[in-house]
Structure 1
């Protein structure tokens, strides 16, 4: 599309170049009866000057400064030879591209040279060489030339400034998008690592505890560790694949169809999950991922701090809102958690950020009857 647009502009420049050349050929062929004064030099010289005035406009986008220099010299010669009486339109067209395409260090000196040469030549011809105006009239014509060339250059310079600012704004948006993508990947990696390592830690503790007394249970725990490790590695590869310049085969983004598998993994880690999902079939992919990660993080916390226990997970969506409730009963009386609380952590903060990103609400805290509850409310899609 860009190349097509450039060809269109080059075609317009070619048309303008041919039109200006034809106009100046007409000027060169005027007789004393047609205008006062009139060109009386050799025909070939008039045609050469006409070509030098018009044809460089066809290549002004490729060579702005040379085109302006040739046009300016040809217009000055035409003025001295009484070929035209016009306000340097060709110079204005060339000056526009100089202001638009050339850097300031070149376009400003070019303008500083062009304006005195053009205005001085016009005034000298109008008032001294072949007077066609009085002094005031000559100043007026020179001022018109100044307006045409200076205005054209200024217009090109202004457009250049807007394009530079637009490019900077686009770069800022790209950097912002990159930051957002990095934050998304950080959240994804946190959820993946936190959830799977918690399962591995729980099962490793069980395996170590029952290794001698119940080798079969120990082998089952090691099997869960193997499966969880493989799953975690595959999911991390998919997440980190977006950072590889050569590209990587990406798997599907986790959605609500995988909540069953997530519940099964959590069951193997000592948390009996009662999962209920209703009305979520039409939710967008991004919303499903957010819900999946919230449930995953809440179940990870249940495994880490409350296993063995029971946990109810309810995900419901209707036309008003999306409700996500995760409630665990806490460890049985007299039975310490399978994995002691770890210092720090960003699980609750991550869930809160995901809810806030969709304009929702987040609540989490101990239940009066024991255990822990997480409650998230998201606006129905289309009402964010």
Structure 2
């Protein structure tokens, strides 16, 4: 079966094959009517038609020529499902019919249609040698050759047949090129979709694991610091470490569930409703974090999740690059824009932080929603992360 062809093409190919074969059959009948100079029609015996019908003149068509129409019909009907066998069947039937003095037209439409299907199904190097078989096939239209009967009619019929075959071959090349272009575009679209999904999973894992390990590290440091003096606080830190690990594993399973066949997230993605819990978790680990979270109205889940991850990664970076520095998170909604600002009170920096995986992931999240993200170093110290994300106006 040809690439890209399905049995549904028979719904069009079978009627077309019947049409071409039927036209060829009627041309055989018309070519063998007696007295070709007279308009074909019934012999009324010199009487008016309303006085009774006469008889049609007898038509002598060899039964072998009629049988040759069967492989012609089959080859045309199957030319897109089996291009090469269909082409060979049509070429052979056409050659034998022309050798039997069948009319040139409309019979030569059959090899043109078969050539179109063949040229559209495979590279040129794999079909043009077969197309050369049409040269002797068309030459049989002159069989038996008689120089006395050579006329412009025969020459024009042959020339037209050659032009039709060339057009069919070019149409096949164009059809194949367009199909291959669509397939390449589809493969590229699938590749980009897969890359985007891998990137999304990588961002989720990076943010989740980075934050969880940061909290676990801080809680472990607290536990080591007070284990001898305040065992109860060390036990509380160990419980917090365990809880953070359990939450991280649950969220990681939910994130990676998209890789399973038919799987999906096992729970809704984290959103702004979890920001207070995130801040309390950091405070329990000894961090000083202020949160200014007014009523922002209804937000799309994608926006809520992206903002949560941006704030989470920003606070994780504070703990990694400015341990002990206080941080403040502010969120505002002004019309169609959601503004997010995360700033820490770390030391004065010579310039903006170098963009690593974390900052790049935050910027990609903002761009995916049509927003922007900027990371700078204020003159009075620390790092300021600002994100602006468009949102739909509420009702």
Normalising by the smaller structure, the TM-score range is 0.7 to 0.9
TM-score, normalised via structure 2 length: 0.81
Q: CA deviation at 1:224?
A: 0.5
Gaps of 5+ in 1: 332-342
Alpha carbons of structure 1 residues 53 and 344: separation in structure 2 relative to 1, 3 Å: closer
- Within a 5 Å distance, the mapping from 1:63-142 to structure 2 comes to 63-86=82-105, 88-114=108-134, 116-124=135-143, 128-129=145-146, 133-134=150-151, 136-142=152-158
Count residues in correspondence.
361
Q: CA deviation at 1:173?
A: 2.0
Rounded Cα–Cα distance in structure 2 between residues aligned with 1:363 and 1:17:
69
Rounded Cα–Cα distance in structure 2 between residues aligned with 1:50 and 1:271:
89
Rounded Cα–Cα distance in structure 2 between residues aligned with 1:232 and 1:72:
69
In structure 1, what is the equivalent of residue 68 of structure 2?
49
| Cα pair 1:21 1:55 within 8 Å, conserved | no
Q: CA deviation at 1:366?
A: 4.5
Note the aligned Cα RMSD (angstroms). Answer: 3.1
- Within a 5 Å distance, the mapping from 1:360-371 to structure 2 comes to 360-366=372-378, 368=380, 371=382
Q: CA deviation at 1:372?
A: 4.1
Higher helix share: 1
TM-score, normalised via structure 1 length: 0.83
Q: CA deviation at 1:86?
A: 0.5
In structure 1, what is the equivalent of residue 267 of structure 2?
251
Indicate yes or no: 2:357 matched with 1:350. no
In structure 2, what is the equivalent of residue 173 of structure 1?
189
Q: CA deviation at 1:26?
A: 1.9
Q: CA deviation at 1:112?
A: 2.2
SS of alignment partner, residue 271 of structure 1 = coil
SS of alignment partner, residue 103 of structure 2 = coil
| Cα pair 1:314 1:326 within 8 Å, conserved | yes
Alpha carbons of structure 1 residues 139 and 344: separation in structure 2 relative to 1, 3 Å: closer
SS of alignment partner, residue 139 of structure 2 = helix
Rounded Cα–Cα distance in structure 2 between residues aligned with 1:324 and 1:94:
65
Once the two structures are superposed, residues 234-267 of structure 1 have per-residue CA deviations (whole angstroms, 9 ceiling, x without a partner) of 2222223333457466332222222222222222
Alpha carbons of structure 1 residues 131 and 62: separation in structure 2 relative to 1, 3 Å: farther
Moved more, 239-248 or 196-205: 239-248
